[in-house]
Amino acid sequence: MNTNLMNRAADNIRILAAAMVESARSGHPGGSMGGADFVNVLYSRHLVTDPDDPTWFGRDRFFLDPGHMSPMLYAVLALTGKYTIDELRQFRQWGSSTPGHPEFDPVRGVDNSSGPLGQGHTMAVGCALAERFLVARFGETVAHKTYALISDGGIQEEISQGAGRIAGYLGLANLIMFYDANGVQLSTDVDAVDTEDYAAKYRAWHWNVIEIDGNNPAEIDRAIAEAQKETKRPTLILGHTIMGKGCVKADGSSFEGQCSTHGQPLSKSGADINATIANLGGNPDNPWVVFDEVEKLYEERRQQLRAIVAERRAAYKAWADANPELRNEFEGYMAGRIPAIDYQSIVHKPGSATRTASSNVLNYLGHKVGNMIVSSADLANSDKTDGFLKATKAFTTGDFTGAFLHAGVSELTMASVMNGIALHGGLIGACGTFFVFSDYMKPAMRMAALMELPVKYVWSHDSFRVGEDGPTHQPIEHEAQLRLLEEIRNSQNRPSLLALRPADAAETAVCWDMAMHNDASPTALVLTRQDITDLPSQSGNRAADAEQARRGGYVVINPADPQIVMVANGSEVSLLCEVAERLAVDGIAARVVSMPSIGLFNEQAAAYRNEVLPEGIRQFGLTAGLPSTLRAIRGFDGKVYGMSRFGASAPFKVLDQKFGFTADNIYEHVRAILTN
C-alpha cells in the first residue's frame, strides 16, 4: 500500500468536507475530517460494490451512524463516482442530492438514513443478521460484509447496549464496525461525560476488538483485513482519531482536536479555512478538486471491483444453475414475492382475543413464508408472536437456520434491527411487545416511516384492559400518536404508517394480509389482550364482511334509516354492537362502523367516506384512547367517549365499570346525544 497516496486521498476527502460545510455555511467538518482515513481505506481497498449496478444484492453495505458526518460520506462517494463535484457544492440546499444528514439512497451508495445517533450501527446489526439468515439457506454465494461507522455520540446512546449485546450473542462475524474515537463530542470533550473502557465493554459482549491509530492507513488496512478473517465474532475496530485533522489557524499553528470544529464552518470555529486547505495540500482558491492521483486510485479500484464482481456473479450463476429451486426461492425473496396465503382458512376459536388471532396467523405464516423474521422483546408468549416461533426456532450463537429473534428486553434496539433487516432487502421483518412499550420504539419507527420500510409491529395489550398491571402498562395516548404518523405523507404520497386496530379475529386476519402486502410503509397491528365477542355478520359470513377493513373503515351493523352512526375500532366495536342492540329495542336505528385505520379511511374517495359517514346523521365515537384519536376521521364531528386519565390497577371488568366502558353507560350517553 502506498501510504503517501492514501494520506493524499484522505486529505482530499478532508478538503472537500471542509469546503462543503463552508459553502453551505452550516454542517459538521471536524468529525468528517477525523474519520476520512477510515472511509478512504474502506472504499479504495475493501468495500465490494458493483460500479455498474449499485443495488446488486451481493454488495457489501456501509452503515453510517453519525449522520452529521455526511460530508465525509458524500466526499468519499464522489471519489467512487456516485456524486459529482457540483452535487457536493449543493450540500444542504433545497432539492439537492446531498442533504444535511444522509437519506437512504442505495443507487447513490447511501445504505441508510442516519441522524438520530445510535440507530445507524444498530441497523447494521439487522443487515448483518439478514445476510446470515440468507447464507444459512442459500450458502456463501449470497454472502457479503456489513461495515458500520460509529462515533462517540452513537456509542453513548443507550441503543448501543442492545446492538452490542445482540451482535455479540449471535456471533455476527460478518459485521465490522469502526469506532471513530476522537475524544470530542458536540458540546464537550468526551472525558467530561464518559470514561468508559469501550474495548473491555465490547469484549465482554464477545466482540473481537482491535485498537489502532484511526488516522493511520496501514493500521486501518491491517485491522480490516484481520476483521474479514474473523469467523465467530463481530469486530470493533477502535480507532483513535483526531477531530478536525489537518486544521490550522491563520498563523499555521495546529487547531486539531477542537470541540468548536464539531458543528460549524471552520471559518467560524477558530481555524482558518484557507490555511487549513493549504495545509492539507489543496488550493484555497479552488478546493473543489479531485487530485489526479486520487482519481487514478479510485479508477483502479473500479477496475478491480469489476473483476471481483464478475467472479462473484459467475460463482452465483454456477450455484443458481446447479440449484434451480433454491435460485427461484432466493430470487423470489429478493423480488419481494410472497406465497399465496389463504387467510380465511386460518381457524380461530369464537370470541378470541385479537392477539390470539394474530398468533394463529403468525403460525400459518411461519409455515408458509420462508423469508420472514419475527422478533419479540422478551414477551413472545404474551404478545403472541410465539405463534410464529412455534413454526420455527430462535436464532442462537452462530446458528441462523431459525427465523425468530429473541431480542431480549430492548424494544428500541429490536425495532432498529428490523429496519436493518428491511434495508438489506429480501426479508420481511415483524416485531412485538406490549403497546405501551411502543414508546420505547418510536425513534426507530419514525426512521422506518421516513425510509418507507415495510416493518410490521405487533403490539398487544392495547388498552387499560390490561387490567391488574396498572397504569404503567396501560396505553392511553398511544393510538393517537400512531394516527399522527398516519397523517404524515411519505414520498409516495401515502400515509407514512399504516396503523391497524382490528375489532375481532376475522378483522385481524384481514389486517395481517394488508400488513404483508403493504410495502409502502411500516404497518402497526394493535391487538387486545382480552377476549372479544366476534362482530355480528351482515352477510352471514363474518370473514367476508371483514374484507371491507381494506378500506380503513366500514359499516358493521346497518339498519335502515339510522338515527346515529357510532364509530370505534378494536375492542370498542363489539361494545358498540351491544349498545346498538339495546337501542334497537327502543326502536332507535344505530349504525356501527369499525375503523381499524383512520389514515387509510381518510384516503378513500369522498363517495365511499360519505356512504360510511353520511352527512346529516348524528355521530358518536368510542375509544379506549384519548378522544382526540377519533377526531382525525374525515367527515366525523360527533361526540367522543374516551379516556382522559391514566388507567389504574384492577381487574379489567372492574375498570370497564369504573371508566364507563359498559353497554349501560354508553347506551345512556348515546340516548343523551339523541335527545339533545
Ligand X SMILES: Cc1ncc(C[n+]2csc(CCOP(=O)(O)OP(=O)(O)O)c2C)c(N)n1
Which residues in this chain contact ligand X in the complex, by CB under 6 A?
A: 28, 30-31, 66, 68, 115-117, 151-153, 182, 184-186, 243, 262
Instruction: Answer whether 196's CB lies under 8 Å from 222's CB.
Output: no
Q: Look up residue 432 and give its DSSP letter.
A: E
Joined together, the cell numbers standing for residue 226 give 484481520
| Residue 650, SS3 per DSSP | coil
Residue 564's contacts (CB-CB under 8 Å, 6 or more residues apart) are: 583, 588, 590, 591, 617, 618, 619, 620, 670, 673, 674
131 is catalytic: no
Residue 310 has which C-alpha cell?
464478475
CB 18 within 8 A of CB 266: yes
Question: Looking at the DSSP assignment, which residues form a beta bridge with residue 149?
Answer: 64, 178
Q: How far is the CB of 190 from Mg ion (least distance, A)?
A: 6
Residue 30 interacting partner from Mg ion, ligand X, none (CB closer than 5 to 8 Å by kind): ligand X
Name the active-site residue from 103, 411, 479, 572: 411
* x-or-dash string of contact with Mg ion, 578-617, rule CB under 5 A: ----------------------------------------
**Cell 426479508, residue located:** 427
C-alpha cell at 397: 450463537
Residue 91 CA: distances (Å) to CA of 19, 402, 518: 10, 44, 33
Distance separating alpha carbons of residues 142 and 2, to the nearest angstrom: 32
Q: Measured between alpha carbons, how far apart are the two ends of the chain, in Å? A: 85
Q: How far is CA 537 from the centre of its chain?
A: 37
Residue 68 interaction partner, one of Mg ion, ligand X, none, beta carbon < 5-8 Å per kind: ligand X
Q: Are 454 and 604 a contacting pair, CB within 8 Å?
A: no
Of 66 and 570, which CB lies nearer to ligand X in the complex structure?
A: 66
241 binds Mg ion (CB under 5 A): no
Shortest Å distance, C-beta 156 to ligand X: 8
**Crossing angle for the helix pair 3-24 and 29-41, to the nearest 10 degrees:** 150
Our CB check for ligand X shows the closer of 36 and 428 to be 36
The Cα angle at residue 40 between residues 36 and 42, in degrees rounded to 5: 120
Ranges of beta strands (E only) in 231-327 are 235-240
Closest distance of CB 76 from ligand X, Å? 16
Residue closest to 120 by CA, chosen among 38, 62, 71, 57: 62
Taking CB within 5 to 8 Å according to partner kind, which of Mg ion, ligand X, none is near residue 513?
A: none
Q: Which does 116 bind (CB under 5 to 8 A by kind): ligand X, Mg ion, none?
A: ligand X
Distance of CA 547 to the CA centre of its chain: 28
Q: Tell me how far, at minimum, the Cβ of 234 lies from Mg ion, in Å.
A: 21
Cβ-based nearer residue to ligand X, 243 or 622: 243
Residue 441, C-beta contacts closer than 8 angstroms, at least 6 positions apart:
411, 412, 414, 415, 433, 457
| 529 contacts 353 by C-beta, under 8 angstroms | yes
Which single residue is written with the C-alpha cell 430462535? 394
Binding string, residues 126-155; x marks residues near Mg ion by CB under 5 A: -------------------------xx---
- Tell me if 655 sits within 8 A of 467, measured CB to CB: yes
Query: Binding to Mg ion (CB under 5 A): which residues in 170-209?
Result: 182, 184-185
Shortest distance in whole angstroms from residue 267 CB to Mg ion:
21
Question: C-beta of 84: minimal distance to Mg ion in Å?
Answer: 29
State the DSSP code for 42: I
Q: Which of residues 42 and 476 has its CB atom nearest to ligand X in the complex? A: 42
Q: Report which residue type is found at 245.
A: K
Minimum gap (Å) between residue 241 Cβ and Mg ion = 8
Which is closer to ligand X, CB of 92 or CB of 529? Answer: 92
Nearer to Mg ion, 22 or 180 (CB): 180
31/467 with CB nearer ligand X: 31
The least distance separating ligand X from the CB of residue 422, rounded to whole angstroms, comes to 21
Nearest to 575 by CA among 435, 436, 463: 463
Q: How wide is the angle at C-alpha 329 spanned by C-alphas 324 and 335, nearest 5°?
A: 120
Q: Tell how strand 590-594 and strand 554-557 pair up.
A: antiparallel
Task: Decide which of Mg ion, ligand X, none touches 522; Cβ closer than 5 to 8 Å per partner kind.
Answer: none
Residue of 351, 632, 299, 343 whose CA lies nearest to 505: 351
Residue nearer to ligand X on the CB measure, 257 or 642: 257
Residue 424 binding partner per list ligand X, Mg ion, none, with a CB distance cut-off of 5 to 8 Å that depends on partner kind: none
In angstroms, give the least distance from the CB of 259 to ligand X: 7
Number of residues this chain uses to bind Mg ion (CB under 5 A): 5
- The nearest distance, CB 7 to ligand X, in angstroms, is 20
Q: Which residue has the cell 398487544?
A: 460
Residue 461 binding partner per list Mg ion, ligand X, none, with a CB distance cut-off of 5 to 8 Å that depends on partner kind: none
Over the window 81 to 110, marking each residue x when it contacts Mg ion by CB under 5 A and - when it does not, the resulting string is ------------------------------
> Residue 408 corresponds to which cell in the numbers above?
431480549
Q: In terms of CB distance, is 17 or 543 closer to ligand X? A: 17
Alpha helices in 390-498 (DSSP H): 411-424, 442-451, 478-487
H/E run at residue 472:
none
State in angstroms the smallest separation of the CB of 30 from Mg ion: 8
Q: Residue 243 or residue 373: which is nearer to ligand X going by CB?
A: 243
Nearer to Mg ion, 183 or 627 (CB): 183
Residue number of the CB atom closest to Mg ion: 152
Residue nearest to ligand X (CB): 31
**Binding partner at 186 among ligand X, Mg ion, none, C-beta below 5 to 8 Å by kind:** ligand X
Task: Give the Cβ contact number of residue 192 at 10 Å.
Answer: 10
Angle between helices 119-138 and 442-451 (to 10 degrees): 70
**115 contact choice in Mg ion, ligand X, none (CB below 5 to 8 Å, kind-dependent):** ligand X
Known catalytic residues are 411
Which stretches of the chain bind Mg ion, using CB under 5 A?
Answer: 151-152, 182, 184-185
